[in-house]
Amino acid sequence: MAAQRGQRNGVGDTPPAPTAAEITTPIPRVAEVPAARDRARAIPEAAVARLAVYLRVLSGMQEQGAGTVSSEELAVAAGVNSAKLRKDLSYIGSYGTRGVGYEVVVLIEEIERILGLTRKHSVAVVGIGNLGHALANYGGFPGRGFPVTALFDVDPDLVGVPVGGIPVDHIDDIPRVCAEREVSIGVIATPPPAAQAVCDRLVEAGVQCILNFAPVVLQVPDHVEVRKVDLAVELQVLSFHVARRADDAAQGDGVAGMGPDLQVNGMVVS
Amino acid sequence: MAAQRGQRNGVGDTPPAPTAAEITTPIPRVAEVPAARDRARAIPEAAVARLAVYLRVLSGMQEQGAGTVSSEELAVAAGVNSAKLRKDLSYIGSYGTRGVGYEVVVLIEEIERILGLTRKHSVAVVGIGNLGHALANYGGFPGRGFPVTALFDVDPDLVGVPVGGIPVDHIDDIPRVCAEREVSIGVIATPPPAAQAVCDRLVEAGVQCILNFAPVVLQVPDHVEVRKVDLAVELQVLSFHVARRADDAAQGDGVAGMGPDLQVNGMVVS
DNA sequence: CCAACTTTGTGCACACGTTCACAAGCGGTA
DNA sequence: TACCGCTTGTGAACGTGTGCACAAAGTTGG
């Protein structure tokens, strides 16, 4: 996935050099806060998403009492190449020990810090239909750190009714309620026609991050970050692969039989 | 976003040249079916996802009685660059008229054909909790073409109960039921610990495409296509952006005040 | 203290995707 | 028919992300 956003202007004009303090580094553990900040800006989006995956895998390992992991172990558990994993981790700093691996606790701490999980992020869900209901009932959202603190809908029958312990407010109250409860992430689970209007109100209320489940391309000012989860697109992409597969089978038939073509690379699957 | 998959081996060893029949092209409208097949294999994943978006936008335009669209119009409606849009469309063929634009109907037809939407794809939902319930109730799934024909759960209290018009079966019946109803797409909405086992059964049942909502890295044989929708990851990526933004504000403070930095590029927002 | 082994961190090359810029082609007009 | 303006389709440059391969660095055993 790839998130669409409202026209990000050319980021090509970044500062020419990273102060060169990066290379010299007289003492091993310098570059405390400021360098970390500089690095944070350079982490590719895809790597950020993977860091979140690593974090979950690491949490699982921690619960099972693992003290350290090698990049190889962590990589197979996360379903990625070990080189990629190491590169991803290098974006946030050098917290591994050569010849040994990474300390699970340290890695968890650092990833959480980079992802901003040390702070709680209030979540508001707008649109309490099937999906909104499900989201609200997650209660505390994935793995805590993202408490759902506000619910909104237009339906007067729903307003006031508590869902998952939180009373539903009317969408007209978005600005007030979001401000009061310091909502930092808005989740849009409304029907398509309502999505843009809801989005506008969230933005107006100062919400800077939006997770959009409505199959609509949202227009937002470019200081707002939008991520989209689009069920229809996911299914259609899968459909494409079904079709491609069917075509391949129909076409490359007379050549090598109908069996799957041989696998050269060693599968890492256990 | 990027979908993880079970190690795709180097596609670098593709046929050396596309038969060179591509370049010469004596007659304008040759390259009927076979070329379309060859092309289909070359469409980048990201482009496929966007084609699905274009399709939705086009459907909306068709309903409003539009006969033709220019790449520019369609691009802004889909929230992308017009050059990118044209390149994406070029992957599926040349169906535009220079100086005019694209015929909406034709484009819809062609995109549907490429995405394999001319055929119906039965969907099975496994795990009828909050989310599974919501998915089952969509009834016919996004925009039809993806009828939900089977539901599964372990809970004996749910088995036999109809949800959204379809009775829930026990997950032990996955192979039989999936075969009977010719399920081609499996949706996993179970708790994390059950996901891999469920996935294995789906694969065993011959399902080749899986949409995974469970926060787990699935291991599948490489003829199976997996797409992942991970709520936790989405939120954590947003959290990262909040943090980055906070850092920026705290750091680049003394320079240009606290207002948003000026926007150079012309916003396309209406 | 040294040598052998292990694993990280990263420079480099490659591949993929995006963007630019323009020739090719079509419709409208005189 | 010839010209003009407009929009497509695409070759080529560019930027980003991925994967390889190896030096750097640490640990363990003698």
Given pLDDT bands bounded at 50, 70 and 90, which one contains residue B42?
confident
Give the contacts of B162 (CB within 8 A, at least 6 positions apart).
B168
A236 vs B: CB within 8 A: yes
CB contact under 8 A, B237 and A146: no
Query: Cα–Cα distance between B223 and A248 in angstroms, integer?
Result: 12
- Looking at the partner chain, which of B48, B238, B260 has a beta carbon nearest the beta carbon of A225? B238
Query: Cα–Cα distance between B142 and B52 in angstroms, integer?
Result: 12
Which amino acid is residue B184, in one-letter code? S
CB contact under 8 A, B239 and A123: no
- The alpha carbon of residue B142 is apart from the nearest alpha carbon of chain A, in Å, by 5
Does the pLDDT at position B33 exceed 90?
no
Query: Cα–Cα distance between A155 and A52 in angstroms, integer?
Result: 35
Query: Cα–Cα distance between B219 and A102 in angstroms, integer?
Result: 24
Grouping H, G, I as helix, E, B as strand and the rest as coil, residue A107 is helix
Listed residues A91, A114, A137: the one ending a domain: A114
Among chain B residues 80-119, those with CB within 7 Å of any atom of strand C? 80-81, 83-84, 86-87, 97-100
B131 vs A: CB within 8 A: yes
Kindly provide the residue ranges of all beta strands, DSSP E only, lying in chain B, ordered along the sequence.
68-69, 96-97, 101-103, 122-126, 148-153, 162-163, 166-170, 183-188, 209-212, 225-228
Strands A183-188 and A209-212: parallel
Listed residues A114, A138, A166: the one ending a domain: A114
Indicate whether A128 and A109 sit together in one domain: no
Grouping H, G, I as helix, E, B as strand and the rest as coil, residue B227 is strand
Give the pLDDT of residue B176. 97
Give the pLDDT of residue B260. 36
- The alpha carbon of residue A170 is apart from the nearest alpha carbon of chain B, in Å, by 22
Tell me how many domains chain B contains: 2
Indicate whether A134 and A93 sit together in one domain: no
Query: Cα–Cα distance between B43 and A143 in angstroms, integer?
Result: 37
A238 assigned to some structural domain: no
Give me the tens of pLDDT residue by residue for chain A, a chain 270 residues long.
333 333 333 333 333 333 333 322 233 333 333 344 445 568 999 999 999 999 999 999 999 999 999 999 999 999 999 999 999 999 999 999 999 999 999 999 999 999 999 999 999 999 999 999 999 987 556 667 899 999 999 999 999 999 999 999 999 999 999 999 999 999 999 999 999 999 999 999 999 999 999 999 999 998 999 999 999 999 999 999 999 887 777 765 544 333 333 332 223 222
Indicate whether A130 and A200 sit together in one domain: yes
Give the pLDDT of residue B143. 63
For residues A188 and A204, the answer to whether their CB atoms sit within 8 Å is no
Give the pLDDT of residue A32. 34
The rounded radius of gyration (Å) of the Cα atoms in chain A is 23
Query: Cα–Cα distance between A206 and A224 in angstroms, integer?
Result: 9
Centroid of chain to Cα A14: 24
CB contact under 8 A, A215 and B9: no
Give the pLDDT of residue A253. 53
For residues A39 and A260, the answer to whether their CB atoms sit within 8 Å is no
Indicate whether A135 and A109 sit together in one domain: no
Pick from B81, B183, B237, B248 the residue to mutate for testing the A interface (most A CBs within 10 Å).
Answer: B237
**Averaged confidence pLDDT in chain B:** 81
Which amino acid is residue A13, in one-letter code? D
Indicate whether B142 and B99 sit together in one domain: no
Indicate whether B171 and B217 sit together in one domain: yes
Question: What six digits make up the tokens of B185?
Answer: 């797409």
For residues A237 and B52, the answer to whether their CB atoms sit within 8 Å is yes
Indicate whether B108 and B41 sit together in one domain: yes
Q: Which residue has the higher pLDDT, B182 or A247?
A: B182
Indicate whether B110 and B187 sit together in one domain: no
Query: Smallest Cα–C1' distance to nucleotide D15: which residue has it?
Result: A12
Query: Cα–Cα distance between A255 and A252 in angstroms, integer?
Result: 6
B255 assigned to some structural domain: no
Grouping H, G, I as helix, E, B as strand and the rest as coil, residue B167 is strand
The rounded radius of gyration (Å) of the Cα atoms in chain B is 23
Q: Which of B250, B244, B212, B248 is nearest to B231 (CA)?
A: B212
Residue A61 carries which DSSP code? H
Which amino acid is residue A214, in one-letter code? A
The interface residues of chain A toward chain B in range 158-217, judged by CB-CB distance below 8 A, are 184-185, 208-211, 215, 217
Q: Which residue has the tokens 């009317």?
A: A170
Which amino acid is residue B190, in one-letter code? T
Question: What six digits make up the tokens of A125?
Answer: 């869900």
Indicate whether B126 and B224 sit together in one domain: yes
CATH number at residue A110: 1.10.10.10
Q: Helix and strand tally (H, E) in chain B?
A: 11, 10
Question: What six digits make up the tokens of B203?
Answer: 């694969």
* B51-87: pLDDT as tens digits: 999 999 999 999 999 999 999 999 999 999 999 999 9
A155 assigned to some structural domain: yes
Q: Which helix (H) or strand (E) holds B258?
A: none
* B98-157: pLDDT as tens digits: 999 999 999 999 999 999 999 999 999 999 999 999 999 875 566 678 999 999 999 999
Query: Cα–Cα distance between B54 and B74 in angstroms, integer?
Result: 7
What is the span of the domain harbouring residue A144? Answer: 122-231
A194 assigned to some structural domain: yes
Q: Which of A189, A111, A170, A218 is nearest to B233 (CA)?
A: A111
Helix axes A231-251, B45-63, angle to 10 degrees: 120
Query: Cα–Cα distance between A185 and B1 in angstroms, integer?
Result: 19
Grouping H, G, I as helix, E, B as strand and the rest as coil, residue B163 is strand
B244 assigned to some structural domain: no
A87 assigned to some structural domain: yes
Q: Which of B164, B144, B213 is nearest to A130 (CA)?
A: B164
B247 assigned to some structural domain: no
Q: Which nucleotides in chain C lie less than 7 Å from some protein C-beta?
A: 5-11, 14-21, 24-27
* Burial track B206-216 (b if 16+ CB lie within 10 A, e otherwise): ebbbbbbbbbb
A254 assigned to some structural domain: no
B143 known member of a binding site: no
Give the pLDDT of residue A37. 45
Q: Which of B199, B192, B258 is nearest to B227 (CA)?
A: B199
Indicate whether A156 and A96 sit together in one domain: no
Give the contacts of A75 (CB within 8 A, at least 6 positions apart).
A81, A82, A84, A85
Indicate whether A175 and A158 sit together in one domain: yes
Query: Cα dist. B210→A116, B198, B199, B219, B226 in Å?
Result: 31, 11, 8, 11, 5
Indicate whether A184 and A202 sit together in one domain: yes
Query: Cα–Cα distance between A136 and A125 in angstroms, integer?
Result: 7
Give the pLDDT of residue B12. 29
Sheet holding B209-212, edge to edge: B162-163, B166-170, B148-153, B122-126, B183-188, B209-212, B225-228
B136: nearest CA in chain A? A130
CATH number at residue B227: 3.40.50.720
Query: Cα–Cα distance between B82 and A209 in angstroms, integer?
Result: 26
Give the pLDDT of residue A40. 54
